[in-house]
Amino acid sequence: MRLGRGVEWAVHSCTLLAALADDEVLPASGLAEFFDLPPAYLAKHLQSLSAAGLITALRGPTGGYRLRRPPSEITLLEVIEAVEGGLPAFRCTEIRRRGPTAAPADGYPLPCGIARAMWRAEAAWRAELRATTIDDLIHASIPEIDPRQAHSTASWMSNNVRPAVGD
């Protein structure tokens, strides 16, 4: 079981976008530069975040992205599901209904107990991710950021944010 790299990219992008003022955006090219990521692949994931309503894209030469909602109202689960989709990790193919001993179709009124156990575990994973917001991640990280990175990030941001025109 493996989450795609896009999850890491999308969550980090959201935490960076959370640093913008209300009237600012950051272009996709800036996000790619900041994390040294391939722009085309990152753009695809930013589009997924936008399609899920988590970030807003402003078009045009001064365009860019910003969070659509306050970081305290965007959960880690939402970011992950925007990138990875919301399907369960365990896909029950009902092998209990196959083979020489299977009962007729009406013999299975309940979902398979094995699938239910697997999905209970996924619900626990999802609950934990739903309880963590982008704001929580930022507040946990701020005291841990190296002062040199904090300083260079502030300087980089001042050179790369754009005013949100035509919003």
Residues that bind a second copy (CB under 8 A): 1-5, 7-9, 11-12, 15, 33-37, 76, 84, 87, 89-93, 95-96, 98-104, 107-108, 110, 112-118, 120-122, 124-129, 132, 136-137, 140-141, 144, 146, 148-149, 152-153, 155-156
**Torsion angle of C-alpha atoms 96, 101, 103, 109, degrees rounded to 10:** -30
The distance of closest approach from Cβ of residue 3 to a second copy in the complex, given in angstroms and rounded to an integer, is 5
Q: Which is nearer to a second copy, 119 or 165 (CB)?
A: 119
User: For 24, phi and psi rounded to 5 degrees?
Assistant: -125, 155
Q: Which residues pair with 65 in a beta bridge?
A: 26, 57
Q: Which is nearer to a second copy, 21 or 114 (CB)?
A: 114
* Alpha carbon distance 145, 119 (integer Å): 36
Q: Are 54 and 14 in contact (CB under 8 A)?
A: yes
The distance of closest approach from Cβ of residue 66 to a second copy in the complex, given in angstroms and rounded to an integer, is 19
